[in-house]
Structure 1
């Protein structure tokens, strides 16, 4: 069985509410997601793989600073999408997953935030619109170590308010056959298992952008294109820590 521990179990997590504050239905779905994540990790470990190596063709060289797979993974039924961005060995993380939902899967009420500035860029719109949901940093053991959100320019997304993005989270459901199936299922389950932290990070993202926008306003520049603002919120995570918080390690 794979060892899922990647950080010490923390006593407090400012991005997580008291367990009693989690709605029963959400908690039940989080627990099912936890079972799925453990099942996938064990199945991949049995083949000496993890959610990153499962994306790679063993016959193809692995390059640093590349997106995998080429062209991303897209579910045409749910309009969920993801890719993996690799780093080099000098970085603390091996790389990270970016997750998205495209326009066809969004709630009809989702509306991009207004933006302006001398360097204003055109955003994807209509059927081309896409929202970045959350990024998962992966350590060199293939385990998730951090969640983070980004400014618009990082992924070229269409920027939606946090509450709209939160409403999209349940719609991120990767059901793709073939070599990307396991990683897609894992990401879908991770978005659910860490739902409380993701919601908190998305709201903090908007607070970060709003605070920076006040400083940026006199310059006449578009805050969403500010290269000095890349990561807008982040927190460390541990699957073992989350399982303990849910009481799943006591059974």
Structure 2
């Protein structure tokens, strides 16, 4: 695994420069994130445990829950699995073509490739690393081959972020609401990661012009950063207080 051009640490994002409307939306998302975790903790449950319940033995690389989670109205999708060291596992979040805003189109390199097409042309938005207690520790982006997605330019991926929403109760209403809110709470970091993803891809292509960069098995994680829910909410509150 090679990590290139990681996005800035959350502490380096200048929240005071964000529009107040965006800060208020992030603050509301922070309340939602905290509330989802609170109601689960009251009964000794957590975000990850909700998607693993009733799924049998936890097996490396297997998608949980089986068949992934998909919202037929928003066309958002996610699954949880494990294969990286230093974490319990991670969520992969996607948006399918029918849920994307107008004008989004696969990168020109998609032409002639055996990538998902039409309504199945999904885009990976972000991955959320989780610890063994079911709490988030980081965000990262991946190369195309990792998730078998259709590659979209970063500007389009960023426009997709507000459209990610899982608005039903399977396999867990708190987990679905939590994931939806996490994308909104950490949107500045996610946008920075997506930009860094594209920068890393371009640098890799220039360094190895004879390789198919999208299928390079030595190029897996393109950008990554640690996150802290409490620190994020505090920074938002301080920015709004100004």
TM-score (norm 1): 0.87
Which runs of structure 1 show a deviation greater than 3 angstroms over 4 or more consecutive aligned residues? 12-16
Question: Is the counterpart of residue 48 in structure 1 residue 38 in structure 2?
Answer: no
Partner of 1:209: 201
Given that 1:116 and 1:222 are in contact with CA atoms closer than 8 Å, whether structure 2 keeps it comes out as: no
The answer for unaligned runs of 5 or more in structure 1 is 1-11
1:31 aligns with 2:27: yes
Higher helix share: 2
1:82 corresponds to:
78
**Matching residue of 2:216:** 226
Among candidates 102, 107, 113, match of residue 101 of structure 2:
107
1:93 aligns with 2:87: yes
C-alpha deviation, 1:108, in angstroms: 2.2
Matches within 5 A, 1:1-251: 13=9, 16-58=12-54, 60-87=56-83, 91-115=85-109, 121-217=113-209, 219=210, 221-247=211-237
| Number of aligned positions between the proteins | 233
SS in 1 for 2:184: helix
- Sort the Cα spacing of 1:24 and 1:208 in 2 relative to 1 into closer, same or farther, 3 A: same
Q: How far did 1:15 drift? A: 7.2
Q: What's the CA shift string for 1:100-145, capped at 9, x where partnerless?
A: 000110122111112289xx84111111100000000001121111
CA-CA distance at 1:60 after TM superposition: 2.7
Aligned-pair Cα RMSD in Å: 2.2
The structure whose RCO (Cα within 8 Å, separation 6+) is larger is: 2
Gaps of 5+ in 2: 1-7
- Alpha-carbon separation, structure 2, partners of 1:15 and 1:98: 24
Match of 1:6 in 2: none
Measured in 1, the distance between the counterparts of 2:114 and 2:174 equals 35
Report the CA distance between 1:16 and its aligned residue.
Answer: 4.8
